[in-house]
Amino acid sequence: MAELKKILYVEDEPDIRTVAKLALEMVGGFTLEVCSSGAEALEKGPGFQPQLILLDVMMPGMDGPTTLGELRKLPGFASTPAIFMTAKAQPSEVAHFLSLGAAEVIPKPFDPMSLAEQIRAVWAKLG
């Protein structure tokens, strides 16, 4: 499998978005397309052609699971791996997100210094 480089990152909370962007670009070396809503992800995703989708679960308007469902309908997104990030990380909630087709669920708050490694580990498992 190719090295992971391009991530579509969807998060409505500006502070979390900033920390994760720094963690993934500066520490992780990834190229991100950062979106603040599900609608923005649907707009920008196709032009960006991400290898992985990193999605917040709780967002106003279109939540993460709905956004993933809509992205899956777009050409080229049917099998793009997705990781949910959420504070709702009880085992039953994690199982539910995995049943929606997520490759992994990363609990919030996340550790900025190890976030990129967590994502690389998921990518390696998918390979």
Give pLDDT tens digits for 5-50.
999 999 999 999 999 999 999 999 999 999 999 999 999 999 999 9
For the entire predicted model, the pTM comes to 0.96
Whole-angstrom distance, CA of residue 25 vs CA of residue 67: 23
CATH architecture of the domain with range 6-126: 3-Layer(aba) Sandwich (3.40)
Under 8 Å between Cβ of 41 and 52? no
The number of beta carbons lying within 10 Å of the beta carbon of residue 36 is 16
**CB burial readout 42-61, b (16+ within 10 A) else e:** beebeeeebbbbbbbbebee
